[in-house]
Chain A
């Protein structure tokens, strides 16, 4: 069983902490950076799983007991390539989302929006008509696209997603 030294354990813990904190943010950019940081943490942990640092694992270059375990290095290398590729894809997706929606916020899911709509009439009767329209929109997949994110703006900046960066 390999154990790791304290400083490395702290580094990994901080990377995981920061990563998960950023994952819970609303902005997609922060989520993405969170995934990158979390990936670094996981890869570092994978490296550390191989035991303390030692000589390069080339047969004959050093006595066997001084050679580092090559397997975690190979695993980490593979994992780095995979996380890198997927980060790139997520970046592209984030850009696409920005082009289509006009902001990079991760939006509420349909269920959350429905519950918010259900509560909305109780809070302010004036908005009832507007929210009814939207809940009808959600029934078919295409036109829900047009309404985008109906809840967020009404919470922060009054009714309906007015001027929500469509022209940006």
Chain B
């Protein structure tokens, strides 16, 4: 069983190497990508069942036991997020392949896209599974290096500016992460997460606070929490739709996951964290208000993404088992719905030839399929019952209401931000799907990767997007069992002991 844990990291990496070897054949490349991601999804599902029914599955790399060697750990949270992330990655890959076929024909192979895409998946899997702070850094670097290439690929003058912002911000946060690791190692002499959980507790309180704050800043930049969010609405919207969908779905959530893992395991708190509550409220409000001011559909969605990062931070800030469980459920829901919305935005842009909401209109009449594809995830994001967004928000609100006065106040902000999200979505709906029909614009720059205003939108692209909508609806349907799993995952994280026992063995844990 423990060998299975290495597969979600190894398979995409091998797949990336193979796609380089077969860079002449578009068909083989696509086949490798799809097969690898499908197998990883299956492995993740097996890991989830194993972790949920028994203990976390641990693999000691090279046979070195923790805390000396590097361990990969699949506990409930890691396996669950791995499963949903890989499913979303697979759907985005299908969309990207369909888009490529629609734009360039069946035979044109892409030398860089598939290897880089699979490497990104490697980095994401490794970030979820690793039980070691330095390997987490390496995972982030694999993921980010791949994302640098994806965001600046075949770039134009505008996109290189946003790509540049993204690369520089990410590099800076990585260097801060490295600094944090150095300080943690100097203070404790270990980088193993389970080992750190014990050793950091023995440090002076001031030092603990400094280290905790540094991790919050580092992962806060990656997760785009206010006031460290400014790079996101500027860089994400300029990438091609599948790339933006993947980034919006996965990269920020990996930051949230790292925050969840480090804060619960290494820097546990006794009660709600006032700092995180304030940050969460600001993130929710600034993101939602920023979205209302946008005319560019992708920028609007990016601001909503920032806003919903605040929801996840809120669950963490409550800092009890229910709050952490709520965050876990929200991450699962949000990975799916945000990726879907960006894919739909890509479809809309292809059809209308513009990202400006003002220049669109009457799409409900000309393209009813698009209207359905947009309406479902939009309502899900806003949290209308019975969608998965409602279930996830309810979990957060219940956690917030049960943990005292200040969290109840922030729970009010959650409701306000949800209403603002709904308003932003209704605004998009009224302007884009209702009203007078407007003719599609022509592609202003046909040479770059963004092909817009074309009738060549292939049916399979709708199918891939529809598949993601179906995943989102499935989450709503299995909400009962799913929230039971996230509930247990939250309890695990809050207790800390299951993780430590799994990694270090019985005798080393108090």
| A residues neighboring B (CB under 8 Å) | 1-4, 19, 23, 28, 31, 35, 38-39, 41-43, 45-46, 48-50, 69, 71-72, 75, 78-79, 82-83, 85-86, 89-90, 93-94, 96-97, 100-101, 106-107, 109-111, 139-146, 148-149
Interfacial chain A residues near B171, Cβ < 8 Å? 35, 86, 90
B234 & A42 in contact (Cβ 8 Å cutoff): no
B155 & A139 in contact (Cβ 8 Å cutoff): no
Given contacts A93-B163, A96-B160, A148-B157, contact A142 B181 (CB under 8 A): no
Interfacial chain B residues near A31, Cβ < 8 Å? 168
B191 & A140 in contact (Cβ 8 Å cutoff): no
Q: How far is the CA of A49 from the CA of B159 in the complex (A)?
A: 39
Interfacial chain A residues near B238, Cβ < 8 Å? 141
Q: How far is the CA of A89 from the CA of B179 in the complex (A)?
A: 22
Q: How far is the CA of A7 from the CA of B167 in the complex (A)?
A: 32
A141 & B355 in contact (Cβ 8 Å cutoff): yes
Q: How far is the CA of A96 from the CA of B186 in the complex (A)?
A: 40
Give min CB distance, B233 to chain A, whole Å. 8
Q: How far is the CA of A97 from the CA of B161 in the complex (A)?
A: 8
- Which residue of chain A lies nearest to B447 when distances are taken between CB atoms in the complex? A142
Q: Among residues 125 to 179 in chain B, which have CB atoms less than 8 Å away from a CB atom of chain A?
A: 134, 137-138, 141, 145, 148-149, 152, 155-165, 167-168, 171-172, 174-175, 178-179
- Which residue of chain A lies nearest to B233 when distances are taken between CB atoms in the complex? A111
A142 & B165 in contact (Cβ 8 Å cutoff): no
Q: How far is the CA of A41 from the CA of B179 in the complex (A)?
A: 9
A100 & B160 in contact (Cβ 8 Å cutoff): yes
Given contacts A90-B167, A140-B354, contact A111 B187 (CB under 8 A): no
Q: How far is the CA of A72 from the CA of B445 in the complex (A)?
A: 49
B182 contacts chain A at the CB level, 8 A cutoff: yes
Interfacial chain B residues near A93, Cβ < 8 Å? 148, 152, 160, 163-164, 167
Not counting A96-B152, A141-B355, A145-B156, a sample of 4 additional A-B residue pairs whose C-beta atoms are within 8 angstroms of each other reads: A1-B186, A93-B160, A101-B161, A141-B159
Q: How far is the CA of A2 from the CA of B159 in the complex (A)?
A: 45
- Which residue of chain B lies nearest to A107 when distances are taken between CB atoms in the complex? B161
Given contacts A2-B189, A100-B155, A139-B356, contact A45 B160 (CB under 8 A): no
A82 & B138 in contact (Cβ 8 Å cutoff): yes
Given contacts A85-B145, A93-B152, contact A78 B443 (CB under 8 A): no
Q: How many A-B residue pairs have CB under 8 A?
A: 154
A145 & B148 in contact (Cβ 8 Å cutoff): no
Interfacial chain A residues near B4, Cβ < 8 Å? none
Give min CB distance, B45 to chain A, whole Å. 32
Instruction: Give the interface residue-count category, chain B.
Output: 35 or more
A2 & B160 in contact (Cβ 8 Å cutoff): no
B185 & A49 in contact (Cβ 8 Å cutoff): yes
Interfacial chain B residues near A71, Cβ < 8 Å? 185, 191
Q: How far is the CA of A106 from the CA of B165 in the complex (A)?
A: 8
* CB-defined A-B contacts under 8 Å, sample of 15: A2-B189, A31-B168, A42-B178, A46-B178, A82-B138, A85-B145, A93-B163, A94-B164, A101-B157, A106-B165, A109-B230, A140-B354, A141-B452, A142-B444, A142-B450
B182 & A49 in contact (Cβ 8 Å cutoff): yes
Q: How far is the CA of A40 from the CA of B203 in the complex (A)?
A: 28
Interfacial chain B residues near A4, Cβ < 8 Å? 186
Interface flags for B229-262 (1: CB within 8 Å of A; 0: not) read: 0100110011000000000000000000000000
A89 & B450 in contact (Cβ 8 Å cutoff): no
- Which residue of chain A lies nearest to B172 when distances are taken between CB atoms in the complex? A23
Q: How far is the CA of A146 from the CA of B452 in the complex (A)?
A: 17
A39 & B175 in contact (Cβ 8 Å cutoff): yes
Of B157, B237, B296, most buried by chain A (CB within 10 Å of CB) is: B157
- Which residue of chain B lies nearest to A47 when distances are taken between CB atoms in the complex? B182
Give min CB distance, A39 to chain B, whole Å. 6
Given contacts A86-B145, A140-B354, contact A42 B175 (CB under 8 A): yes
- Which residue of chain B lies nearest to A23 when distances are taken between CB atoms in the complex? B172
Interfacial chain B residues near A42, Cβ < 8 Å? 175, 178-179, 182
Q: How far is the CA of A35 from the CA of B105 in the complex (A)?
A: 41
B107 contacts chain A at the CB level, 8 A cutoff: no
Given contacts A79-B178, A89-B145, A109-B234, contact A46 B185 (CB under 8 A): yes
B448 contacts chain A at the CB level, 8 A cutoff: yes
B441 contacts chain A at the CB level, 8 A cutoff: yes
Given contacts A48-B182, A96-B155, A142-B450, contact A111 B234 (CB under 8 A): yes
Give min CB distance, B243 to chain A, whole Å. 13
Q: Nearest 8 A-B pairs (CB), nearest first?
A: A142-B445, A142-B444, A49-B186, A139-B356, A145-B158, A42-B178, A45-B182, A143-B444
A2 & B156 in contact (Cβ 8 Å cutoff): no
B183 & A49 in contact (Cβ 8 Å cutoff): yes
Interfacial chain B residues near A107, Cβ < 8 Å? 161
